[in-house]
Amino acid sequence: MIEIKKLLEKLFQSKNKKKIIENSVIVIIIGIIAIVAGGSLFKKNEPKKEPVNGNLTPVVETAAKVESSDTDTNEKRLKEILMTVKGAGKVNVMVTYVSGKEIVPAYDIKRNENDTEEKDSGGGVRSIKQNDSENKVVFEEIQGNNKKPIVLKEIMPQVKGVVVVAEGASDPEVKERLARAVQVLLDVPIHRIEVLESGSSYTK
């Protein structure tokens, strides 16, 4: 601080007015550089704030995207198969589900069993059993310090209904073949399958 004060006195000692103005400009530039450098230093030392539950959010988003992708893939594969049926022509398919896909994760199960005996005032003995259990989902680390649950199995959703719109559905034989194909492939009752002709009004 003393050195800075001496420097300022030396800069303003000159009697030349032009020299004083030049010295003032130099002081201002030095001050600006000092402020910028100080701000950068504080930014570097500032600790990073981690978002709460930041590791769990990507897992949820990924699971939702995977489920949507699975249903789209099933419809696409069904459509491709039905279009190979003789006389079917161009085909469009929509499948609805009762619920979403069920994912069964792995659990770390801890059980504690305690047996104690208590004596009552009458001299009798009473046995007390206490069972405690704690279930925690087992996670595995993935890229970027994120975590995802270890999945034991995936239960595909139950199909609620299927609508097939085909160019050749005006032919009763083609319509029946399409309905039977859907029934076999998706294990759906025949009354939950509707096959319609393209461009026609809804008729059963």
> Residue 93 — pLDDT band, cuts 50, 70, 90?
very high
Same domain as 61, residue 97 = yes
HEC letters along 16-74: CHHHHHHHHHHHHHHHHHHHHHHHHHHHHHCCCCCCCCCCCHHHHHHHHHHHHHHHHHH
Same domain as 86, residue 23 = no
> Residue 7 — pLDDT band, cuts 50, 70, 90?
low
> pLDDT: is 155 or 171 the higher one?
171
> Is the pLDDT assigned to residue 128 strictly greater than 90?
no
- Amino acid 61: pLDDT: 40
Same domain as 109, residue 97 = no
What are the tens digits of pLDDT across the range 154-163? 888 888 999 9
Q: Please count the residues of the chain.
A: 204
Residues 168-180 have a mean pLDDT of 95
51 belongs to a structural domain = no
- Can you tell me the distance from the alpha carbon of 194 to that of 161, in angstroms, rounded to the nearest whole number? 8
Same domain as 89, residue 174 = yes
Residues 78-104 have a mean pLDDT of 90
- Can you tell me the distance from the alpha carbon of 148 to that of 8, in angstroms, rounded to the nearest whole number? 62
Same domain as 85, residue 171 = yes
Same domain as 113, residue 91 = no
Residues 85-106 have a mean pLDDT of 88
- Amino acid 14: pLDDT: 53
> Residue 115 — pLDDT band, cuts 50, 70, 90?
confident
Instruction: For the chain, give the mean pLDDT.
Output: 75
> Is the pLDDT assigned to residue 77 strictly greater than 60?
yes
> Residue 59 — pLDDT band, cuts 50, 70, 90?
very low
189 belongs to a structural domain = yes
> Is the pLDDT assigned to residue 83 strictly greater than 50?
yes
Residues 58-72 have a mean pLDDT of 54
- Provide the domain limits for residue 118: 105-142
The 10 Å Cβ neighbour count of residue 101 is: 14
> Is the pLDDT assigned to residue 32 strictly greater than 80?
no
> Residue 190 — pLDDT band, cuts 50, 70, 90?
very high
Same domain as 91, residue 11 = no
Domain count along the chain: 3
Residues 21-47 have a mean pLDDT of 61
Q: Both tokens of residue 125?
A: 């003995």
Same domain as 185, residue 85 = yes
85: domain CATH number is 3.30.300.30
> Residue 90 — pLDDT band, cuts 50, 70, 90?
very high
